[in-house]
Structure 1
């Protein structure tokens, strides 16, 4: 058997006038014993390396980590977002109270609805009052890993409203990316 050869690059800087033959030299590999092959498999890694997955949401890129088996329970966030958004639109709550659970686009939509509601109260000459609300059933499903789509029923004395919410898992927290009060 003919020994294999390897090309070793010279790391010196040379002038363009020197020939390219001086850049490479051929040498035989050193005699090494082949690695021993064992019949036992290598030990499993103790931790799985996590590489962030870049996901486009709107105009900004957000980093979403791989979803683990135990996701946080979305029910309290769904309840608070639904109640909060209806109270904000009615004028009895400040919009900053739900800012930590909602994206900028959701805040913009709710603020627009709040302004329209305040214009209605001004046109009628009434003052918005606190309406007692109760959270009804919460229906949700997961169309994809790290995504929850839900409908929450909100009951008042006069009517029942439904709030459609889409939550996405960003880092380790749920965040509303779409919200519609019907």
Structure 2
């Protein structure tokens, strides 16, 4: 069961922003990492459980150490599931606004350092959607489309990089003409 993102945002506000006395990018990153962690942990656990025990036993029969079995056999077989969990969590935090409102607050300056308030695309979309002007709402829809395209490009790029054939000529499992 997931904790609502606003609860994690309030926690990060109370634990980081209030003691520091100012909004910071680090507080936003920590709040978003709290959202990502359960998704990545659960998907990694499931991906590791999906690797058959016979693979581990075969590695042990060959005299490989537990470290080599884990790194070379188990993780290579579970790589797709772990990658899927990471991409799901990145997609989720890519659109989260509530923790960023509580920790970063936002500003008109895009980035001025990790120790200051900054702007983020989900915050910009939220602010533009609250404006009474049609031009601002249209810009908000454009920003939302931009966010979707960025997340899609990350998914395609990561999938292509990790699913490439060893020869570098294409994706595994695709027809080569």
Q: TM-score range by the shorter chain?
A: under 0.3
- Which structure has more relative contact order (CA 8 Å, sep 6+)? It is 2
- Higher strand content, 1 or 2: 1
- Higher helix content, 1 or 2: 2
Structure showing greater radius of gyration is 1
TM-score normalized by structure 1? Answer: 0.24
TM-score normalized by structure 2? Answer: 0.25
